Amino acid sequence: MKPRVSIVRTQDDVEEAVREAVDLLGGIERFVRPGGTYLIKPNLFIAITADRGATTDSRVFMTLAGMVKEAGAAPVVGECPATASYTRPDIVFDGLGVRELCREAGVEVNVLDREEPVKVENHEAEVVHEFWFPRFAVECDGIINTPKLKTHTLTKLTCAVKNLFGLQQGGIKAHHHIQTGNDPEGFSRLLVDLYQAIRGRVRLNVVDAVVAMEGEGPTTGDPVDLGLIIAGEDAVAVDLVASAVMGWDPMEVGTSFLAVERGLGHASLEEIEVVGLPVEKAVRPFKRPQTHSDGKIFIDIRMAIECNSERCTGCGVCATVCPGGAITMHGNPEIHDPSCIQCFCCVELCPNGVLRALRKGRGR
């Protein structure tokens, strides 16, 4: 049977679009059971708002929380913010108003960084055979994955498969980058290993493509007023459809290519049942990050990390989050190129958006 993916325009009502997207898949009752407890996992990696294209729109995950409650189950909104590596994870929940929204709706919030880590083995993995997930993510009755549709400096796309990397706690994220060194393909293989380890617990994927991001994602790219919700049970199928909506060949996205290679997904749209809005009526071509401007699946040259010194505040976040210890602060950051593992965590988590990964010969 073909995996089904729905595409719905939001028009002026995001909640209605979320409900329609899930109804086109058979309704929320297909994915949750009465009396169960379900983790709703958005992309809340940093305290940058959804209208800038960075984080999941609260209307999307709060609507899903309401639907889970209506089905007689208990929703829990949870995340391991990437900012937990240099500050309190609560700053993201509080800064984006998530805690207050959940309090008003009677929905529990779980800062997953504080959960006991539980080992999950993947005997078919290619890079990492053991992952440590927050206990609640492993013991709840299922996960509803609610990613943001964005470009990504390292992986080209961050959507359903990549969003599950957010189930890795603080320092574990940095450790994974070190494990794969400066090999972008190796990191994408690690992401597929992680997806393979947790995919059996993911019941539903609902993508916030209301305001997406193109260019230098996942933090400093340009917002795209796309006005879509994309949903499906199969994360790889969802990513293929999302890539097609962005005007890309889905097989140019490393995680999708590798998942198909491993037998975890389908290679073409012809093998997916798209319901609701046809892909051809939803397409809006997206600019790729400069790191992927040559059209290859994986980055195959080293990128220079440059700082806009006029805008840099010297906060030192880049040095704190650098897994390779390649950055020292002397007013502005100085990057020791031989130590740089090309993970681009500094670019992703710079609170002022002053760092860029640039291909040689290209301007800012």
Paired tokens of 120: 């999950």
Mark which of 263, 292, 321 sits at the end of a domain. Answer: 292
* Predicted local distance difference test score (pLDDT) of residue 364: 33
Cis link prior to 218 (omega < 30° from 0)? Answer: yes
Which whole-number Å values give the CA distances from 100 to 18, 20, 62, 145, 257, in the listed order? 21, 26, 12, 21, 40
Do 40 and 61 belong together in one domain?
yes
Computed from CA positions of residues 160, 163, 167, 172, in that sequence, does the dihedral angle turn out positive or negative? positive
Do 48 and 126 belong together in one domain?
yes
Do 271 and 314 belong together in one domain?
no
Global confidence as pTM: 0.96
Q: Mind giving me the DSSP string for 9-55? A: E-TT-HHHHHHHHHHTTT-GGGT--TT-EEEEEE--SSS--GGGTSS
Paired tokens of 167: 């189930």
* Predicted local distance difference test score (pLDDT) of residue 243: 98
Which whole-number Å values give the CA distances from 54 to 49, 80, 125, 175, 222, in the listed order? 6, 15, 30, 23, 10
Do 288 and 334 belong together in one domain?
no
Do 184 and 310 belong together in one domain?
no
Do 312 and 275 belong together in one domain?
no
The number of distinct structural domains making up the chain is 2
- CATH code for the domain of 103: 3.40.50.11440
* Contact (Cβ atoms closer than 8 angstroms) between residue 32 and residue 40: no
* Contact (Cβ atoms closer than 8 angstroms) between residue 315 and residue 352: yes
Do 353 and 253 belong together in one domain?
no
How long a stretch of residues is the chain? 364
The residue type found at 16 is E
Number of Cβ atoms within 10 Å of the Cβ of 325:
12
Do 202 and 310 belong together in one domain?
no
Paired tokens of 192: 């597929």
363 domain residue, yes or no: no
184 domain residue, yes or no: yes
The residue type found at 200 is G
Mark which of 260, 292, 324 sits at the end of a domain. Answer: 292
- Alpha carbons within 13 A on the beta-carbon side of 27: 4
Q: Mind giving me the DSSP string for 303-323? A: -EEEE-TTT-----HHHHH-T
- CATH code for the domain of 318: 3.30.70.20
297 domain residue, yes or no: no
221 domain residue, yes or no: yes
133 domain residue, yes or no: yes
Residue-level pLDDT, tens digit, the chain, 364 residues? 899 999 999 998 999 999 999 999 999 999 999 999 999 999 999 999 999 999 999 999 999 999 999 999 999 999 999 887 778 889 999 999 999 999 999 999 999 999 999 999 999 999 999 999 999 999 999 999 999 999 999 999 999 999 999 999 988 999 999 999 879 999 999 999 999 999 999 999 999 999 999 999 999 999 999 999 999 999 999 999 999 999 999 999 999 999 999 999 999 999 999 999 999 999 999 999 999 998 899 998 899 999 999 999 999 999 999 999 999 999 999 999 999 999 999 999 999 999 999 876 443 3
Q: Give the angle 263-266-270 at the CA atoms, nearest 5°.
A: 155
Do 120 and 259 belong together in one domain?
yes
The residue type found at 14 is V
Do 127 and 225 belong together in one domain?
yes
37 domain residue, yes or no: yes
* Predicted local distance difference test score (pLDDT) of residue 360: 62
Q: For residue 353, what are the domain limits?
A: 304-358
Do 109 and 251 belong together in one domain?
yes
Do 333 and 190 belong together in one domain?
no
End-to-end Cα distance, the chain: 47
Mark which of 292, 320, 342 sits at the end of a domain. Answer: 292
Give the whole-angstrom CA distance, residue 167 versus residue 204.
16
